[in-house]
Amino acid sequence: MKKRVVSLLIASCALLSAQDFSAQANKDKEALKEYLEKKFADKKGATAFFPYSTKDELDKNFKWGIKGDEFRLGSYAFNKGGREQYEEVIEMPPYEDAIDAGKELYDGVKFKNGKSFKDCFPDTTIAGDYPKFVKGKGVITLTGAINSCLKDNGEKTWKQTKGKMADLEAYFAFTSKEKGKKVNIIIDSKEAAEAYERGKKEYYSQRGYLKLSCASCHVQGAGQRVRNEYMSPLLGQTTHFPVYRLKWEGLGTLERRLKGCNKDQGENPHKPGSKWLNELSYFMAYMSNGMPVDGPDIRK
């Protein structure tokens, strides 16, 4: 009995301290959700959020009343025309071959030392558990973990943006989605909370010769139109990676997309695997915490 009480006490203390470290991140996530739900609540209040859109555009192109998990569809959550096109493409998803290729990499490829990815990742339903903060190592993304597995087993690491990396991640995402897994990012130490805060600060900092922050497009700018495309919201943005982009004519990792965003801001992009990009991903993924893993998916 005594032992049980002590264990319970230890467990509650651990839970409490984990909640303390993630308290600010949870507040941020709720505030973001509240803002986006208000922004996409109804046409009446929309003119304040979309000053450049005509009444006709708000009337015809938008779906209103978007809530929480629906945001994982990106701009297709609210953009009627885009949603129709998306639903047509998704009937014959162009990423299916990549899932098969990823399964083959997981099941069929043996490293020179006789081991395989199964030794590093016995469970494939882990797409929602990354990025992780590891004491002494910092933020580790799924891409980083896959490359560490290769390196630790004497293999050459992979390109972090597409190819085999995206294929294996597609398989992990697919099996996670099939199992109904949710994004489960953990902030359980002071160092992890600091990494999250650094990622958040960079997300909201204006940068590049265009002086845009990530938030300019995906928080304040979410739902606004650039040329003919509506910009997606931060909420749910990491749930569906890797994505097959029509622009790329192929599958790419979150690192590939972030590199593109960084370039669009007018800045020399940060390298995939860099501390900067990993911490940015950590913050972004936390904003999708609790949402269903939805990858791989299709985007324009």
Partner 1 sequence: MKKIILVSVVASLTFATAGLLEDAAKLDVKKVCDVKANGLDKVLDIAKKYNQEAIKLGVEFKRLGVKNREYIKYASEAIKAKSKVTVIKYKSKGKDKTKKFDTEYATWRACTFAIRGLQQKVEAEKTWRMAVPGDGFKY
- Site for partner 1, residues 229 to 248, rule: CB under 8 A: none
Per-residue 3-state assignment (H helix, E strand, C coil) for 142-175: HHHHHHHHHHHCCCCCCCCCCCHHHHHHHHHHHH
Both tokens assigned to 21: 């470290």
Cα atoms in the 13 Å half-sphere on the side-chain side of 90: 16
Return the H-helix or E-strand segment holding 139.
strand 138-140
User: Does residue 201 contact residue 282 with C-beta atoms inside 8 Å?
Assistant: no
Select from 13, 14, 20, 34 the one that contacts partner 1 (CB under 8 A).
Answer: 34
> Total residues contacting partner 1 (rule CB under 8 A)?
32
The residue range among 26-34, 81-89, 163-171, 288-296 that interacts with partner 1, by the rule CB under 8 A, is 26-34
- Positions annotated as catalytic residues are 261
- Site for partner 1, residues 97 to 126, rule: CB under 8 A: none
CB of 17 to partner 1, least distance (A): 23
C-alpha distance across the termini of the chain, in Å: 59
- Which x/- pattern over 181-220 shows residues binding partner 1 (rule: CB under 8 A)? -------------------xx--xxxxxx-x-x-xx--xx
Does 65 bind partner 1 (CB under 8 A)? Our answer is no
Report d(CA 180, CA 189) in Å as an integer. Answer: 27
Does 266 bind partner 1 (CB under 8 A)? Our answer is yes
Return the H-helix or E-strand segment holding 65.
none
- Which x/- pattern over 246-265 shows residues binding partner 1 (rule: CB under 8 A)? -----------------x--
Q: φ and ψ at 182, to 5 degrees?
A: -115, 160
Cα atoms in the 13 Å half-sphere on the side-chain side of 282: 32
CB of 37 to partner 1, least distance (A): 11
Nearer to partner 1, 70 or 155 (CB): 70
Does 38 bind partner 1 (CB under 8 A)? Our answer is yes
Both tokens assigned to 197: 């805060």
Does 26 bind partner 1 (CB under 8 A)? Our answer is no
Q: Which positions lie near partner 1, rule CB under 8 A?
A: 27-28, 30-32, 34-35, 38-39, 48-49, 200-201, 204-209, 211, 213, 215-216, 219-220, 263, 266-270, 276
